[in-house]
Amino acid sequence: MLDEDQAQRPRGTVAFPISLAWCVIVVVEADTAWTGGRDRGPGVPGALRALERAFDLVFRAVANPWRHLGALGFFFFWVATASGIYLYLFFDTSVTGAYESVERLTHGQWYAGGVVRSLHRYASGAMVATVALHFVKELVGRRFAGFRWFSWVSGVPLVWLLLASGITGYWLVWDRLAQFVAMATAEWFDALPLFGEPIARNFAFPAAVSDRFFTLIMFLHVALPLALLAGMFVHIQRVNYADVLPARALGWGAFLALLALALAKPALSQGAADLATEPQTLALDWLVLGFYPLIYRFSPEALWIVAAAATLGLLILPFAARGERVPVARVDLANCNGCARCFADCPYAAIVMQPRAGGKAGQKHAAVVAGLCAGCGICTGACPSSTPFRSSERLVTGVDMPQQPIDAVRAELERKLARLHGEGRVVVFGCEQAAALHGCAGRGAATLSLTCVGQLPPAFVEYALRHGADGVLVASCLEGECVYRIGDTWTAQRLAGEREPHLRVTVPRERLRVVRAGAGEEKTLAQALTRFREALARMPRNEPRGSSRSKAPRALAAAQTGARG
Ligand code: HEM
Ligand code: SF4
Ligand code: SF4
């Protein structure tokens, strides 16, 4: 299908500079980009965040498609699979019968087969669009390096498998579009020095297409999606509690949108394939087949070079990224009782439970797989040993963060509590990734910023209330914005008593407030603090109730005496 002029065009002249530029971008971008997953500056991620938040207003975070692109990818896959099984029941896998069988299904039972065919086509397209957005979101959010390398690298082949699944699907219909797809794919593959005989010869004249070849395509159209599914499961191996199922509202919304499209614009064939003539005008599915015109605009070789360079560039991106490395959690065997709470709460499956050397049968302890650790501190928040009430001078917990050990957090809290005076003494626990705390500090509150709000052991709330705070405000990121995926969820559940370690029931809940304020929402946080103070002012002053910790620091003890006086 290449015309003479196109055949004359020097092959690869465009592809080489494009590929070179892409590789330079990859290395430069990666070199400056990796910040341990912390997304701070302005620019595209800021714009993306604004877009996501705007969608929250309409859909709420739980059903916001932008926040659940991975789950939507899975959802569309299942819709395509279920509809594909139905189509297969009526499909004739012979060259002569394929087109007719699809036509019968489309028009003979338009209310069932026709709708299911459209659902199959639109679910596949929607999956491509969703995965493209998911990819762009991870890329501009710079979430490809460090502990995320595995998710990134395992995501790249999925793009190929997804497109190949779609292409073989279009092929099966054996209409004019399928004819174009068959010919163009053959010409594209013939540019590779792999085949002795050009594959394009299989489509040179009608009798050249055999039933066997057609069965092969059918086999590929089943095998490729199966490989895609296997790849999808590998992709989420290092993501604990992966978001693979959209919320009911989002799932139904997506399905009804597909159904509405299927009824409004049913998927139709474009006339039976006729290898004796070339198709003149075709309606192309740009999502799945959008790159085909490039084969003719440039050359098959050029497209291979660009595709190979893009794939290679994406695969090396995580490793080309240099920069800040995150500190990794450390286990202290003496303080680990093997309860496995850290194992259950780690968002990246970085904790494994190992048999304790020299211990009783079945006794285990936690161990951190350094390469998987995000340095979020959620495990420290989960560990029952992370209670500040322990009497030891130095607080050592089962699993701790070297950049902000729990002992340092307790010491900082005690120091700041000692300086809290006057009305409405509030301790604000915040998160480095969410709204900054400087606005609250300016209003006389004691502020403590953690790597992730999930790093906060609930006992610290009680500790602050027992040692001079009138109230505790926990500032969490917005729902769905946790850089470490689930830190905000675990904290909310722990404070609500729904997850271990839970906040004790004896802690007065009216003195605790959880506020969701994302990065850049400092004003919202400051306003919430003001309202909390007003509420606290209507309550009796919270008298320090001493501590089960026998050796409370002198500064704190003095401050408590002063407060009582
Ligand atoms: C069939 C295609 C794909 C599907 C169904 C899919 C699905 C998912 C799901 C369900 C998650 C877990 C989300 C969560 O629970 O927070 C995820 C994470 C991720 N995906 Fe994909 N994905 C696909 C393709 C890709 C591609 C092409 C890339 C990029 C090359 C990619 C990069 C990532 C990364 C980096 C994460 C980790 C995010 C994090 O650590 O917070 N994915 N994906
Ligand atoms: S939560 Fe603490 S005590 Fe429990 S297994 Fe993990 S490190 Fe050990
Ligand atoms: S800091 Fe703890 S919870 Fe976070 S990834 Fe590392 S081991 Fe898992």
Q: Which ligand is nearest to the CA of 365?
A: 2
Q: If you measure from the C-alpha of residue 331 to the centroid of ligand 3, how many angstroms do you get, rounded to a whole number?
A: 11
Would you call the peptide bond into 501 cis, given omega within 30 degrees of 0 as the criterion? yes
Q: Are strands 351-355 and 364-368 parallel, antiparallel or unpaired?
A: antiparallel
Kindly state if the Cβ of 232 falls inside 6 Å of ligand 1: yes
Report pLDDT for 211: 86
Kindly state if the Cβ of 142 falls inside 6 Å of ligand 1: no
Q: Which ligand is nearest to the CA of 329?
A: 3
Q: What is the dihedral of CA 158, 67, 403, 547, to 10 degrees?
A: -140
Kindly state if the Cβ of 412 falls inside 6 Å of ligand 1: no
Separation of alpha carbons 419 and 422, rounded Å = 10
Kindly state if the Cβ of 145 falls inside 6 Å of ligand 1: no
Separation of alpha carbons 446 and 428, rounded Å = 6
Report pLDDT for 555: 42
Kindly state if the Cβ of 181 falls inside 6 Å of ligand 1: no
Q: Which ligand is nearest to the CA of 366?
A: 2
pLDDT at 321 over 90: no
Confidence of residue 323 (pLDDT cuts 50, 70, 90): low
Report pLDDT for 512: 98
Q: What is the residue whose two structure tokens read 């904290």?
A: 491
pLDDT at 10 over 70: no
Report pLDDT for 71: 98
Q: Sketch out the chain's domains with CATH numbers.
A: 54-320 (1.20.810.10), 377-564 (no CATH)
Separation of alpha carbons 358 and 157, rounded Å = 44
Distances (CA, A) of 379 to 258, 367, 490: 41, 11, 10
pLDDT at 31 over 90: no
Q: Which ligand is nearest to the CA of 345?
A: 3
pLDDT at 8 over 80: no
In the chain, % helix, strand, coil (3-state, to 5) comes to: 55, 5, 35
The string of pLDDT tens digits covering residues 467-504 is 989 999 999 999 999 999 999 999 999 999 999 999 99
Q: Which ligand is nearest to the CA of 397?
A: 2
* 8 A C-beta contact, residue 342 and residue 236: no
Q: Locate 130 and state its tokens.
A: 């969703």
Going 12 to 18 to 22 to 25, the CA torsion angle's sign is positive
Helices marked H in 383-479? 406-418, 438-441, 459-466
Ligand 3 binding pocket (C-beta < 6 A) is: 329, 346, 348, 350-351, 368, 373-379
Q: If you measure from the C-alpha of residue 234 to the centroid of ligand 3, how many angstroms do you get, rounded to a whole number?
A: 20
Nearest to 469 by CA among 503, 432, 419: 419
Q: If you measure from the C-alpha of residue 71 to the centroid of ligand 1, how many angstroms do you get, rounded to a whole number?
A: 9
Percent share of the chain, pLDDT over 70: 88
Q: What is the mean pLDDT of the chain?
A: 88
Pocket test of ligand 3: the residue of 379, 383, 400, 433 to mutate, having most ligand atoms within 8 Å of its CB, is 379
Give SS3 for 483: coil
Report pLDDT for 196: 78
Closest residue CA from atom 8 of ligand 2 = 336
Give SS3 for 365: strand
pLDDT at 91 over 90: yes
- What angle do helix axes 95-103 and 211-235 make, rounded to 10 degrees? 60
Ligand 3 atom having least distance to the Cα of 380: 2
For residue 70, report the phi and psi dihedrals to the nearest 5 degrees.
-60, -45
Percent share of the chain, pLDDT over 90: 73
Closest residue CA from atom 6 of ligand 2 = 342
* 8 A C-beta contact, residue 254 and residue 73: no
Total H helices, total E strands in the chain: 21, 8
Nearest to 305 by CA among 316, 289, 294, 320: 294
Report pLDDT for 202: 80
Report, as an integer, the average pLDDT of 38-54. 68
Closest residue CA from atom 3 of ligand 2 = 336
Report pLDDT for 115: 97
Closest residue CA from atom 1 of ligand 2 = 383
Worst-scoring range by mean pLDDT, 192-201, 306-315, 370-379? 192-201
Which amino acid, 285? Answer: D
Give SS3 for 223: helix
* 8 A C-beta contact, residue 477 and residue 431: yes
Report, as an integer, the average pLDDT of 43-61. 85
Phi-psi category of residue 513: left, alpha or beta, with phi > 0 → left and psi -120 to 50 → alpha: beta
User: HEC profile for 279-326?
Assistant: CCCCCCCHHHHCCHHHHHHCCHHHHHHHHHHHHHHHHHHHHHCCCCCC
Confidence of residue 35 (pLDDT cuts 50, 70, 90): very low
Q: If you measure from the C-alpha of residue 210 to the centroid of ligand 2, how many angstroms do you get, rounded to a whole number?
A: 63
pLDDT at 14 over 90: no
Kindly state if the Cβ of 366 falls inside 6 Å of ligand 2: yes
Cα angle 163, 165, 171 (rounded to 5 degrees) comes to 100
Confidence of residue 124 (pLDDT cuts 50, 70, 90): very high
Report, as an integer, the average pLDDT of 51-74. 95
The string of pLDDT tens digits covering residues 146-174 is 889 999 999 999 999 999 999 999 999 99
Q: Are strands 330-331 and 399-400 parallel, antiparallel or unpaired?
A: antiparallel
Ligand 3 atom having least distance to the Cα of 342: 3
Largest distance between two CA atoms of the chain:
101
Q: If you measure from the C-alpha of residue 553 to the centroid of ligand 3, how many angstroms do you get, rounded to a whole number?
A: 30
Ligand 3 atom having least distance to the Cα of 348: 5
* 8 A C-beta contact, residue 502 and residue 392: no
Report pLDDT for 32: 43
Worst-scoring range by mean pLDDT, 274-283, 327-336, 386-395? 274-283
Report pLDDT for 324: 67
Q: What is the residue whose two structure tokens read 């065919």?
A: 117
Report, as an integer, the average pLDDT of 36-50. 58
Kindly state if the Cβ of 386 falls inside 6 Å of ligand 2: no
Q: If you measure from the C-alpha of residue 561 to the centroid of ligand 3, how many angstroms do you get, rounded to a whole number?
A: 39
Report pLDDT for 326: 84
Confidence of residue 358 (pLDDT cuts 50, 70, 90): confident
pLDDT at 26 over 80: no
pLDDT at 547 over 60: no
Residues 6+ apart with CB under 8 A from 27: 320
Confidence of residue 41 (pLDDT cuts 50, 70, 90): very low
Report pLDDT for 7: 37
Report, as an integer, the average pLDDT of 110-131. 97
Q: If you measure from the C-alpha of residue 169 to the centroid of ligand 3, how many angstroms do you get, rounded to a whole number?
A: 42
pLDDT at 329 over 80: yes
Separation of alpha carbons 255 and 79, rounded Å = 8
The string of pLDDT tens digits covering residues 394-441 is 999 999 999 999 999 999 999 999 998 888 899 999 999 999 998 888
Report pLDDT for 191: 93
Q: Locate 311 and state its tokens.
A: 């794939």
Closest residue CA from atom 3 of ligand 1 = 131
Kindly state if the Cβ of 171 falls inside 6 Å of ligand 1: no
The DSSP secondary-structure symbol of 113 reads: I
Confidence of residue 212 (pLDDT cuts 50, 70, 90): confident
Worst-scoring range by mean pLDDT, 422-431, 524-533, 536-545? 536-545
